[in-house]
Amino acid sequence: MALWMETGMEPTTESEKADLEAIAALKQSAAFELKEKGNEYVKMGKKHYSDAIDCYTRAINQKVLSDSEQSILFSNRAHVNSLLGNYRRALMDAEEAIKLSPTNVKALYRAAKASLSLNLLAEAKSFSENGLKHDPNNEELKKLAKKIELRRLEHEQREAQVSRAVTEAKDLVSAIENRGLKIGKAMFRELTGLRKPALDKNNILHWPVLLLYAELSNMFSETCASLPWDRENNYNRKSIELYHEAGSGVCLSKSKLLHYLLEETAASNVENVGGEEKDAAEDSDSRLFAGEGPKWVKVSEKRTLHDVLKEPNFIIPEIPVFYIVSKSSSFYEKFKAGQWAPPP
């Protein structure tokens, strides 16, 4: 009997041949029945998609159908996997269907659609173009091809924006390093929001600057002619002095400086922008001037911002911060004696 034949053995009698043909016919019938049952499950909705996949898988495993019929089974399973969001499996099934039948337009469509969902734009384009070669009037493929092309253009624009943002950030880092400036962590971002230096086409570095009244913890409008709290008029043009804090903060490593400059740009989520070094140095020699208390350095009106920022003990907390005090105020002596520190 054919049932007792070992795998790979050839039938030697007419009876064995007839048995094998009967078994093949039964398997073929079962495969077609499973295929139709799978199609019915798909029509019944999402709750039955797993049942449909099971039917298609069992039909495929019968291994008795022609290549074109097997291709349809793989294509159908790809369709259900796509409906379930299993795009990687959908693509694998669609590719298998195409191997079995290169002219299976539905398989090419489903491969293109799964590739698009996986953001494999080159593959999606190739599958859609191949499908249209076999069926130039296929409206679904035409719509999908347009969608793929639109996504490709958007991707190219996005990549161009990312590349431009990274280039500008690296140029900024180079400009900062060439000027011998040191950038540290932000101190008052809750007041200023995200602010950054800018490098113009003439290689001039422009800085936003924060001016704070050390005597108070809040900021004041630039349009205010006089300060309501300054009843004794201590803060007048002749009395005020400008200071910056020296020996405070931690220098950002090059990688962290790059990431700061890339915040809120098209490249803000890019993890590796190149040209980065290990951040270990930040913990070793970046705390160059930490001391027991704040050290205040008076800023001469005759000096340029560039000259002040390049001082060896000035770590810029993302943007330059200067403190306004009045010689006429009782707070002045306390400030000069180092008995006041910026709020944490």
Range of 97-101, 191-195, 296-300 with top mean pLDDT = 97-101
Dihedral, 25, 27, 28, 32 alpha carbons, nearest 10: 140
Give the Cα separation of 226 and 234 in Å (integer).
11
Question: Against a cut of 0.85, is the pTM above it?
Answer: no
Name the pLDDT band for 293 (thresholds 50, 70, 90).
low
Residue 94: strand, helix, or coil:
helix
- % of the chain at pLDDT higher than 70: 83
pLDDT per position as a tens digit, 115-171: 999 999 999 999 999 999 999 999 999 999 999 999 999 999 999 999 999 999 999
| Domain locations along the chain | 2-153, 182-251+286-336
Residue 297 parent element (H or E): strand 295-298
Give the Cα separation of 326 and 214 in Å (integer).
9
- Which one-letter DSSP state was computed for residue 184? B
Strands 295-298 and 240-246: antiparallel
Tokens representing 51? Answer: 């049942």
What single letter denotes the amino acid at residue 267? A
Q: Architecture of 2-153 per CATH? A: Alpha Horseshoe (1.25)
Name the pLDDT band for 10 (thresholds 50, 70, 90).
low
Burial-class residue 114 by CB neighbours within 10 Å (0-12, 13-18, 19+).
buried
pLDDT per position as a tens digit, 304-329: 999 999 998 899 999 999 999 999 98
